[in-house]
Structure 1
Amino acid sequence: MFPRLNHAWLLIAGCILCALQACNSAGQVDEEQVPDTISYNFNIRPILSDKCFKCHGPDAGHREADLRLDIPEMAFAALKDNPTAHALVPGDPSLSEVYRRITTKDTAEQMPPASSNLKKLTPFETDLIKAWIKQGAKYEKHWAFVAPRLHAVPEVKNTAWVKNPIDNFVLQKMEQKGFEPNAEADKERLLKRLSLDLTGLPPTLKMMDDFLADKSPDAYQKMVDRLMAAPQYGEKMALHWLDVSRYADSHGYQDDNYRSQWPWRDWVIHAFNENLPYDKFITWQLAGDQMPNATKEQLLATGFNRNHKITEEGGVIDEEYRVSYVTDRTNTFGKALLGITLECAHCHDHKYDPFSQKEYYQVFAFFNSVKEAGLQSSVGGPETYAKRPMMQISNQDVKDVLKFINKQDTDKLIVSVMADSEYVRKTFVLNRGNYDAHGEEVTMGTPKAILPFTANYPKNRLGLSEWLFNKNNPLTARVFVNQVWQEFFGKGILKSSGDFGMQGDLPSHPELLDWLAVDFMSHGWDMKRLVKQVVMSATYRQSAVVSPDKLRADPDNVYLARGPRNRLPAEFVRDLVLASSGLINPKIGGPSVNPYQPPGLWENATSGRGQLATYKQVHGPDLYRRGMYTLIKRTVPPASLAIFDASNRDQCEVKRLRTNTPLQALVMLNDPTVLESARVLAAKLLQDNSQSKDKIIKAFRLIMCRHPQDKELAILTAYYNEELKSMTKADADKLLKVGEYPVPANVDKVKLAAMMKVVDAMYNLEEAITKT
């Protein structure tokens, strides 16, 4: 039973089966109906953006026929090459060149032209445009560039289901689509989901027992409060922000030497645990050094903007790399905090969004006066661990103002931070994005389509932060609440969480997104309050069980008529294994560590110079630290984490890919950490004075976070008995050699090996590493 290779092959077969099912169901889509009222934002602009704006949009460099369809004044004006014709004639499709060109059979006039490689409009899209023109061809400003408003909480029929206003918005959409919500998940699965989502760790047996025994009406809320008060809450919430901020433990590029930026990571964990309001959380990171009487903590927070890759290679052009660092900070600002593809305007005007290249470099100007060089020092000693500008952290600092830093030695600790030069460096538009091709000189500013940067704001990063948190800024709150939603449901209300622009997805629940954004702002940008709202909702508490009808009608769970079901992020897969076995080292913060890794990866991939030239595995308790503390060398990221889609932190990443590959099954089958955890848990089970059946129940609860069903227990017990009969002492000795944690003395090694295989089989069940 449970043969090791079968797991991977079953996964491959499952992938093929899913693909076949997807193909078979691809044609089973309900016929789309043209709505009574056509919305430019939600019905028409996505079509024009995909099929027309490439040649008739904001990008002047690629514009054809001097025609713009993204601006009504130009779309309604007479055509330059035919003054008697108009692209759009409100109310009359027959006189509108747009409609004539998208419906003509004449390939010489057909739009989009075949040479553009753009797909033709579907009949439904053509009908939408016809209906829109008939209704007056009314344009609207892009929805994401209009300040959110507090929509009235909608009335719903099933009021008994509602826990808070989130549910009203979700249920209204369900009722419109004819869905009914799932029942609440059972208490065991609900606790597993909640614990993993709020701490990244499975619940302990005591937590499970306490929750099951608590019959009070507020039992769930008490557990929410208990988990959010735990220090591990900050670790869980920080992981996403490490992806956003491209945090790593090496500089990147060929030499890829060590950097000592981990105190900034300790600060992020601390900020989430202390519930620092989001406006302060971001302002300190953007401009802590420019705040009046800035503290060392505020200065440390600015490490956010120094987490980018930095070269140490000789022979590089200093200014080229300095410009690349400023570019990285500019792009990160756009993606992480505004949810826009600002980087697309680095070389030319944005092709789809109303951002000019000049506006890109106006944002660039905020980050262009940092006292830094493109190339600093060569690979060597501790002075290269951080790059100027930098701050030193003394033992006295840790005792006084930086108590959250886990500094356990007396070595000098330095961190890269922000500090501008005494003078403002001139900023120019860079023609075609080339570092030395200076065009027009520009001053600090922001895209006008989002919110003008007026004279009221200081011309520095502190002023940029004020602009960011102006309540009329349409993006800041929306982007963050969408990222928080994504953390709990697997995807945001807006699926394209890094692109709120014209080419991004449309929000599934736009009124809910706006309501959450305004509510978040009006309650002091309180991050813990927002998280609690989400997990307290009936929407979040639903069972993840899906019926065939729901799966067919809403395979992606767009309408949230069932609970989230997602595989754990890479770091939390490791954490679940370590925590359930009891091996986990609970230390918060501190330097990153090198756990088990296949030999030779580092040595064969980099220059062979510097502190990270060879892989030096840690030993003892550091072997069992949480996944987020695994050292990330950018050129060779940790293999087991990368296989489970962890970011290599090369650049800002607001949403990880989620894949399902046989390699992941092979990691679970062969990773020393998994096998060692199985051995250690098995040894602890054997120390219990109980029957084998009870030991298996305990292991199942620790790993799956629920009691096994009778059938499951029978299979696992039978497997244990079979292994006990067939296991030889030689086989047991070989199996038990994995890992460094000592095998208890005087243990029956055959029994230990047999129980180890049972525990290992549990770790390899899909449910073990899935939030259900």
Structure 2
Amino acid sequence: MNIFRFLCAALFILFLGSGCGVEKENEIHLFENEQLSYNFHIRPILSDKCFVCHGPDGNKREAGLRLDIPEEAYAALKESPGKHAIIPNELSRSEIFLRISSLDPNEMMPPPESNLQLSKEDIEMIKKWIEQGAEYEPHWAFVPPKKSIVPKINNSDWARNEIDFFIASKMNRVGLKPNPEAKSLELLKRISLDITGLPPTIELIKKFDEDNSDQVYGNIIDHLLGLPSYGEKMAVLWMDISRYADSYGYQDDNIRTQWPYRDWVIHSFNKNLPYDQFITWQLAGDLLPNASKEQILATAFNRNHKYTEEGGVIEEEYRIEYILDKTNTFSKGLLGITMECAQCHDHKYDPFSQENYYQLFSFFNNTPEKGYEGDVSQSKPAKTPILWIERNDTDQLLNFVNHQDTSKLIVSVMDELETRRPTYILDRGVYDAPTIEVFPNTPESVFPFPQDFEKNRLGLAKWTVDKKNPLTARVFVNLVWQEIFGKGIVKSTGDFGMQGELPSHPELLDWLAVDFIENGWNIKRLVKQILSSSTYRQSSKIEKQKLDIDPDNTYLARSSRIRISAENIRDLILESSGLLVKEIGGPSVKPYQPEGLWEAATSGRGELKTYTQDKDEKLYRRGLYTFIKLTSPPPMPIIFDGSNRDQCEVNRGRTNTPLQALVMLNDPLVLEASRVLAQNLNRSTKDSESKIRVAFQRILCRNPQANELKVLTAYFKDELLRFEGNPEIIAQLVQVGESPLAEKEITPELAAMMQVVTALYNLEETITKI
């Protein structure tokens, strides 16, 4: 078998095999005589199996029994006044235990027809809890975080900062020890990808390989945090949260010009705008005293949702849809709660009523935007209310907006009506079924709305970043942790409610949240704090004992192997090949894409009815700038689990599919990058081994081992012989992409080296943080 085909087959299998383990739920470790916690041991059971019929939703409550609050659970049963669901310390008189342990189908709970069933462990847990006093606790996420005392650990020499003490304490408890520190170049690749989304330069590799002291490590973190590419890396996360796209969605799906907002996000991360201001400007920049154009531009965050341009729609129906989207994005992206569940009825699990939902909705219901704006024959780049950005703006206050010509820019932003628009609870969430009028307010279960705050979006912004708000700092710290470790301390990033995952390290999450606020909501400081920890610096080597105890790496006794995001895969390929155009910001670009995708998903109207590929430097921009059409998102990012941006997303799945392997083997970008890197190598030296060594450093960010270099050199020689014997196939292979290629460069040496580089791009290690 030809060695190239053999390598491809092996790489294909390796790609399929990586990370395919079945994920287990977090396990709660109990110890003899341990006091059970309602939040961490009991509520998850009741929420899963009991709250559907005995929870917050009064419309679905059975037998008048509510188990989510103690005064109701302890009270006499409405249908059996002499009995009680729960009597603390009295198991034999607690009806809940008698029912869940009964074998009589007429008595047992949950009833057989519900298809819900408690395990023996669940029943034993509830039994022990009642015997211990059945003490309820407020939901952990709705209690303001506190900085608990940093725990003492046996291996204190291992810890570099407070994060390590919390992590090691949990490790010790379950019988785990931390991994040794990763190799220096593995760490360099890791921090470079985490901070900038790009592989380290050859110069950084050399510097770090020669001196990996703590001082050099910290200095390189500071250096990377100071690069403009840091803001681009962070902006990918925020584009998912803010559901940024370059078209409006729905049937016509015409072009929009929201990209100056993306430029603002990059700029804000790079200048390290404190997170409380970052949020305040996006929610209510237009309502700030003497609001600047920059603060108004930030409010485009609220306007990135889909818009219809279809004729015959009911304007009010879509206007309501847009306000619903704003409300849901705010609650999920900033507060980490599933308020959207209360649009049609009281939340079934969390203490949010339908009234709570529409009170929150009313903060966003006072904007003058419309549901439909008339003639759709011409694409409208922005919908009212709008912000005009003049040329002198981009020369002065808005100089971060990358606008190359003299035309005006137009962006959809927020504005406020002078007279309050009334808001009503909508029966079953239907736009034309108003019932009771409500007024701006926030859920008291989270944090009561202070009376001295404005009853508008500015007041909502103040409430959101108030130090008493238990969610905002926790949610953002968890998002950053997820970006770095692949999984949040709370795994369900967008759901901190009753049905969400419990935090694996609750004391650490709270400590970090309070510390984040105390240090001025400083995002760069938070990132450096995590990257400086010994927890982060561990190797990813997996030992059988650790795999048996903690297969999901919940306790972080090793570094997780994580495939980088779709955008950063593109970035790594472009940067390592030398093709990357490092221009910051500006309009989105249209790189290579299979023909016919847009045409198959369009109404046949507007500027985006056909896909017109860009040329020259626009082909080689970072993945952040790839044009996103909502009805036909770019295929390569979607294949690698990118967001399609039709709604707020706070985390992405990580799948392994054959399509991903095929993209890496056949995508024009990968092949062109392989050819261009091979060209550059051929121009620099004639020694094949030296070329392979440099390619290996640029792509895998380390030096090749002797056996790796031997295999690759042998592969190059094998391919060189093949192309020398079949010169007619060389041109077809190397003439891919639109970057320049001189006729004299079309040689067997170029084709053979291109194959080596392609193989390197297809290694699992290449697109994995290890």
2:344/2:354 contact within 8 Å kept? yes
* Equivalence for 1:328: 325
Equivalent residue runs for 1:372-387 within 5 Å: 372-381=369-378, 384-387=380-383
1:102/1:121 contact within 8 Å kept? yes
Equivalent residue runs for 1:511-522 within 5 Å: 511-522=507-518
1:12: Cα distance to partner? 7.7
**3-state SS, counterpart of residue 85 of structure 1:** coil
Q: Identify which of 458, 464, 478 aligns with 2:460.
A: 464
* Equivalence for 1:14: 17
* Equivalence for 1:637: 633
Q: How many residues align?
A: 765
Task: With the length of structure 1 as denominator, give the TM-score of the two structures.
Answer: 0.97
- The one-letter code matched in structure 1 to 2:228 is P
Output one character per residue of 1:539-594: Cα deviation in whole Å (capped at 9) or x when no partner.
11111111121112111110001113100100000000000000001000000000
1:266/1:405 contact within 8 Å kept? yes
* Equivalence for 1:404: 400
1:176 aligns with 2:163: no
Task: With the length of structure 2 as denominator, give the TM-score of the two structures.
Answer: 0.97
Rounded Cα–Cα distance in structure 2 between residues aligned with 1:398 and 1:7: 52
1:732/1:749 contact within 8 Å kept? yes
1:742: Cα distance to partner? 1.4
* Equivalence for 1:366: 363
* Alpha-carbon spacing, 1:30–1:636, altered in 2? closer, same or farther (3 Å): closer
Output one character per residue of 1:215-241: Cα deviation in whole Å (capped at 9) or x when no partner.
554010010000000010000011100
1:32/1:124 contact within 8 Å kept? no
* Equivalence for 1:587: 583
* Alpha-carbon spacing, 1:458–1:224, altered in 2? closer, same or farther (3 Å): same
* Alpha-carbon spacing, 1:662–1:620, altered in 2? closer, same or farther (3 Å): same
**3-state SS, counterpart of residue 458 of structure 1:** coil
2:343/2:357 contact within 8 Å kept? yes
Rounded Cα–Cα distance in structure 1 between residues aligned with 2:104 and 2:758: 65
**3-state SS, counterpart of residue 756 of structure 2:** helix
1:7/1:665 contact within 8 Å kept? no
* Alpha-carbon spacing, 1:437–1:263, altered in 2? closer, same or farther (3 Å): same
1:454: Cα distance to partner? 2.8
1:262/1:590 contact within 8 Å kept? yes
* Equivalence for 2:90: 92
Q: Identify which of 223, 231, 234 aligns with 1:234.
A: 231
Rounded Cα–Cα distance in structure 2 between residues aligned with 1:591 and 1:133: 61
* Equivalence for 2:729: 731
- The one-letter code matched in structure 1 to 2:334 is L
Aligned-residue CA RMSD (Å): 1.7
1:743: Cα distance to partner? 1.3
* Equivalence for 1:547: 543
1:715 aligns with 2:718: no
Rounded Cα–Cα distance in structure 2 between residues aligned with 1:131 and 1:151: 27
- The one-letter code matched in structure 2 to 1:270 is H
1:683/1:744 contact within 8 Å kept? no
* Equivalence for 1:305: 302
1:610: Cα distance to partner? 0.4
Rounded Cα–Cα distance in structure 2 between residues aligned with 1:229 and 1:236: 12
Q: Identify which of 448, 457, 464 aligns with 1:452.
A: 448
Rounded Cα–Cα distance in structure 1 between residues aligned with 2:414 and 2:157: 52
1:744 aligns with 2:747: no
Equivalent residue runs for 1:383-532 within 5 Å: 384-532=380-528
Rounded Cα–Cα distance in structure 2 between residues aligned with 1:9 and 1:229: 38
2:562/2:768 contact within 8 Å kept? yes
1:129: Cα distance to partner? 0.5
1:259: Cα distance to partner? 0.3
* Equivalence for 2:283: 286
Rounded Cα–Cα distance in structure 1 between residues aligned with 2:408 and 2:376: 18
* Equivalence for 2:351: 354
- The one-letter code matched in structure 1 to 2:283 is L
Gaps of 5+ in 2: none
Rounded Cα–Cα distance in structure 2 between residues aligned with 1:95 and 1:667: 63
Q: Percent identity?
A: 58
- The one-letter code matched in structure 2 to 1:522 is E
1:270 aligns with 2:267: yes
1:517: Cα distance to partner? 0.4
1:101 aligns with 2:99: yes
Q: Identify which of 594, 602, 623 aligns with 1:598.
A: 594
Q: Identify which of 132, 135, 147 aligns with 2:129.
A: 132
1:197 aligns with 2:194: yes
- The one-letter code matched in structure 2 to 1:633 is K
1:14: Cα distance to partner? 2.6
* Alpha-carbon spacing, 1:469–1:28, altered in 2? closer, same or farther (3 Å): closer
**3-state SS, counterpart of residue 178 of structure 2:** coil
1:117: Cα distance to partner? 2.1
- The one-letter code matched in structure 1 to 2:164 is D
1:34/1:127 contact within 8 Å kept? no
Rounded Cα–Cα distance in structure 2 between residues aligned with 1:748 and 1:76: 83
Output one character per residue of 1:189-226: Cα deviation in whole Å (capped at 9) or x when no partner.
10000000000000010110111223554010010000
- The one-letter code matched in structure 2 to 1:61 is N
- The one-letter code matched in structure 1 to 2:70 is P
1:58/1:352 contact within 8 Å kept? yes
Gaps of 5+ in 1: none
Output one character per residue of 1:149-187: Cα deviation in whole Å (capped at 9) or x when no partner.
011111111111111101110011111111111111111
1:746: Cα distance to partner? 2.3
**3-state SS, counterpart of residue 86 of structure 1:** coil
